[in-house]
Structure 1
């Protein structure tokens, strides 16, 4: 893999100019807006943001079982567990093979950051699914024993049902946040790769090998499969985490190049380019359609499956 060098990036003249100032604005402005949305909608700024007098559900509410139950009752949670384990093994194998073949320099790429996060998502999801299957098994055993010994009262039935409608614990929210972050990032990496890099493979330093193609397709395919099965909602405001993820990646590249004269993994990150601010703005704006595409996929899933499986579809939103 050839290196994309860009002069002396450690010199002050490379950074102290109007182009870098504009790029900072394009990167930090979305990060500031994202931080505000998280503060507002995740309840960090208002301890009562999750509660209303009517006790109605908010769009961004998450319930404990949504992290591990399939969206259709006819599908046992163990099948979602199996899918997540297989997906994790495939992604981990692809990541290891890619690193062994191309070296640790791959972690300079946004694609590898995304692939690593998707792999973590399936590992995390496998643990939550395993926990859910175990809990369901134990709850079922206890329920059968209670039904045999003494019929449940109406209040006890209500209590048991509400057990599955409790607000999710910390790890459930973390899982949903990771899901929505990798959803946008996977769309962004794959769209940029297949619409920009593949048509212009004459760019030096990029190759269309099997592992490269796999890294830009397997992640999204498996993520769409999990989306079709899971019960997770997809509130719009969590585009904030997607914006922060990309922003931290760009800041990492800037800090690295400020202290080390190294190569740029993507040519449009090079601040010495004449139209660098325009490229940064375009990439920033791409986050909106990329996240919207996955948002519409989730909405289409809810719309379709709720009509095909009217009696057994169990997504709350």
Structure 2
């Protein structure tokens, strides 16, 4: 069994080129056998059908036999998920901390290179709050949703689509993968409709339809689409969309193998006041029972509902993952320990 702690230790012991968004992935050439200046050589071979990570590891703190054992134990997980579509929703602590952001980016690149088809969906609440404050616009919330009038919607679009999205694309590209930034408006990816509470919430929308046509050629070529959670209706009016909801609906439309929501808690807790009571795996019936018993409450309810809805539409598993944990994506996908709660159908 590949222990999560051991895998995390390996990830932390890798050279800095894999731990931060400064990872570069040189092309394979006829001089590939020439000893590189950097002792850690990573060649990511990409085509329309595969992405393979080839590693040459030099001596560093983790003994060679240990590294080989860990990598070999990851093989069944790589084989299981290679070629499968994985939707990752990014936000919370992992977005606010530069260290965790670097960890997420490195994980995405590695997963893409071993053949997973990654789609990255993001919000950007803290950044939106920052710019609203700078512009003297007060942030108001109703039941956890941002009240979005016309001026706020303009800032939301500018920050999510023009700033956060392109920043993430640049980091992923710098790390050696190929990212393409989009919003729900592009290619009619998401068609929005007003929220039932639009009188109070303003331009907060729901997703009426998903058309992933624009994403398929990107995914098939192992590019990483980075999707901002903004959409428009038939008239072209923009709406602020909850990023968890956007990720769940997109996972269903793409027939994804797995939906992963990065969040600020360990996952679903048997006792929500006890961080040590993590539920590692649960099915839809179990989740509904916990909601009825009041064990799932507050901000966890919309996340769980998002997961349940995606599972009901054909997604194989949905995980609520602790985004505060370094390399949580690798721990969730490439180990049997996981890094949160996995919900099954």
Which range, TM-score by smaller chain?
Answer: under 0.3
Higher CA-based Rg? 1
RCO (CA 8 Å, sep 6+): is it higher in 1 or 2? Answer: 1
Would you tell me which structure has more helix in proportion to its own residues?
A: 1
Q: TM-score by structure 1 length? A: 0.24
